Amino acid sequence: MSWDSLLPRPAEVSPSPGTLQLDASTTVGGEPAASRWFRRHVGAATGLPLAESDRPTIAFELDAGVDGYRLEISPSGARAIASNPEHAHHAAQTLRQLLPPDVFRSAPIARGQLSLPCGTLSDRPSFGWRGCHLDVARHFLPKREVQRFVELLAMHKLNVLHLHLTDDQGWRIEVPDLPELTRVASWRSRSMVGRGEQPEYDDRPHGGYYTTEDLREIVAHAAEHHIAVVPEIDLPGHSQAAIAAYPELGTGEPPRVWDSWGVSDNILAPRRATLDFYRTVLDHVMSVFPAPVICLGGDEVPGATPAHGSLLRRLAEHVHARGRRTSAWDEAVDTTELPRETIVLAWRGSEAAHRAAELGHDVLLCPETHFYFDHRQSEHPDEPIPVGYLSTLSHVHGYRPAVRNALGVQAQVWTEHLDSPRRVDYAAFPRLCAFAEVAWSAQRELPEFAGRLTEHHLPRLDACGVEYRPLDGPHPWQTRPGVPGQPR
């Protein structure tokens, strides 16, 4: 492969003549995590032993004076010099991309010559927070699929997985002191299909949840890929599943776990017992997730009162008192004065982003108009379940930040209409490739990106088994004939 095949686009590349040949004598060493990751993944795909060595052919080194990471490849060896272990991992990902696409498989399928192009590369990210939100509340994803998604994020140099664990339609995290959350709230009796004028349902029970051990494994797997897992416990709205399990959290007749999409009117009662309940939940969440940020939702709360704002603020203070930060969707600052340290996820556009920044909050740019990947990808009638705004690959790639000093950017994969890992793949990719370039690359051009994507990167996704949307439209088996959407 060549230097111009990399995605996201690196900051600076200087090719030079020659190649570094990889064979059975090639050794790897240096920074332990990056060298171990490279040996494991590239070794599995190539069949090469890639033995560990104190004088390696491919060396990973740490140097705090480096901005990001630098690669130096010559016919005699390769050096990856990084400012920290995270950037050493990014260097390992780049080296993998400089090899043929089959290096992204889990076992060797060919025995051809392997080589790295000679030259130097200097690279660094545009944003510190390069996140992707994954909704496992509306449709549950098995643990192995979450781990696979983590690996795909790391492949694109993203570094945060925002895991949306609770909503009206399901509760996905075990809380040992509150067993009804998994016995009752983790499943619903049926699900709405599409978003037609007349609701239709599939009458198939849907559910699932992650045990404490499952979530610790996901966190550990993500840490190996230098990805932080930020959990979201959505409140005081989007809480019907929790209220179904513990009706005293609500104000009316006990509801069932919701089987429809949209925004439920069943919200938490802002009373002391509710505060104590969610303190128990959040204490368990913080014992499982070491991430510095815990998301409390705060969005789409029908009939919100100052008391609901107070509930959200006091729970935020509870998290902050334990040495963590909270994040919340941008409506939250309309209902209460959150702690200044709360990160605001600006999904309603530039006005919401600027308002949060003016209030002194760090801002994550998550605009629905560009980064909601459940939204339709074309106006073609074959586009499955066409909801939301038109969000094409070029539209995502062309995003320009609304707030210059934003903490970062984040894509959202909501799953009301994504009921399987195949559907998640279709909605997320290749738009997530374009988003990764927005998050990482200071300089980017659409025609050049499109060429790299088509010629070099889609074959990598093929090798990974990602069932992405073809650029010219869905395969027949990716369509959903007769299932209506709700385009905007």
Q: Tens digits of per-residue pLDDT, 52-71?
A: 999 999 999 999 999 999 99
Within 13 Å of residue 86, how many CA atoms lie on the same side as its CB? 17
Instruction: Report pLDDT for 289.
Output: 98
- Strands (E) in 377-477, as ranges, are 408-413
pLDDT of residue 402: 81
Of the chain, the percentage scoring pLDDT greater than 70 comes to: 100
Average pLDDT value for residue range 2-17: 97
Chain centroid, CA 412 distance in Å: 7
pLDDT for 326 equals 98
Q: pLDDT class for 112, splitting at 50, 70, 90?
A: confident
At residue 475, the pLDDT reads: 98
**Residue 45 phi, psi dihedral angles, 5° rounding:** -80, -30
Write out pLDDT tens, residues 244-253. Answer: 999 999 998 9
82-86, long-range: CB < 8 A, 24+ apart: 82/31, 82/34, 85/31, 85/33, 85/34, 85/226, 86/159, 86/226
**Structure tokens given for 222:** 């993500």
Q: Which of 426, 411, 414 lies closest to 480, judged by CA?
A: 426
Q: What is the model's pLDDT at position 134?
A: 98
Q: Is the pLDDT of residue 324 over 80?
A: yes
- Residue 110 — very low, low, confident or very high, per pLDDT cuts 50/70/90? confident
Question: Taking phi first (over 0 means left), then psi (-120 to 50 degrees means alpha), and beta for anything else, what does residue 262 get?
Answer: left
| C-alpha separations of 433 from 24, 86, 123, 371 in Å | 33, 20, 17, 12
Go through the chain and tell me how many residues it has: 488
Q: Say how far apart CA 299 and CA 211 lie, in whole Å.
A: 26
Which domains, from first to last, does the chain contain? Answer: 3-123 (3.30.379.10), 129-478 (3.20.20.80)
- Spatial neighbors of 7 by CB under 8 A, at least 6 apart, are 97, 156, 433, 436, 437, 449, 452, 453, 456, 457
pLDDT band at 335 (very low <50, low <70, confident <90, very high): confident
Give the pLDDT of residue 437. 98
Distance CA 56, CA 95 (A): 15
Q: Cα dist. 209→140, 239, 438 in Å? A: 7, 16, 33
One-letter identity of residue 166: T
pLDDT at 364: 98
| Tens-digit pLDDT profile for residues 369-382 | 999 999 999 999 99
Could you read off the pLDDT of 266-306 as tens digits, one per residue?
999 999 999 999 999 999 999 999 999 999 999 999 999 99
The pLDDT score that the predictor gives to residue 278 is: 98
pLDDT confidence of residue 449: 97
DSSP-derived 3-state class of residue 192: strand
Burial of residue 306 (number of CB atoms within 10 Å: 0-12, 13-18, 19+): exposed
Two tokens, residue 180: 């009804």
Q: How far is Cα of residue 280 from the mean position of the Cα atoms in its chain?
A: 26
What integer pLDDT is reported at residue 207 of this predicted model? 98
pLDDT in tens, 389-444: 999 999 999 999 888 889 999 999 999 999 999 999 999 999 999 999 999 999 99
> What are the phi and psi torsion angles at 18 (to 5°)?
100, 175
**Residue 241 in this model has a pLDDT that exceeds 80:** yes
HSE on the CB side for 467, CA within 13 Å?
Answer: 13
Q: How many helices (H) and strands (E) does the chain have?
A: 16, 19
DSSP at 100? -
Query: How far apart are alpha carbons 34 and 61 in whole angstroms?
Result: 9
What's the maximum distance between 2 C-alpha atoms anywhere in the chain?
Answer: 74
pLDDT band at 13 (very low <50, low <70, confident <90, very high): very high
Non-local CB neighbours of 244 within 8 Å, separated by 6+ positions: 184, 185, 254, 255, 256, 257
pLDDT tens for 136-153 read 999 999 999 999 999 999
What pLDDT does 195 receive? Answer: 94
Beta-sheet pairing, 160-164 with 12-22: unpaired
pLDDT of 1 reads 80
Q: State the alpha helices, DSSP H only, in 299-405.
A: 306-321, 332-335, 350-358, 368-371, 393-397
Q: How much is the pLDDT for 111?
A: 73
d(CA 126, CA 147): 25
**Model confidence pTM above 0.75:** yes
**Which run of H or of E encompasses 363?**
strand 363-365
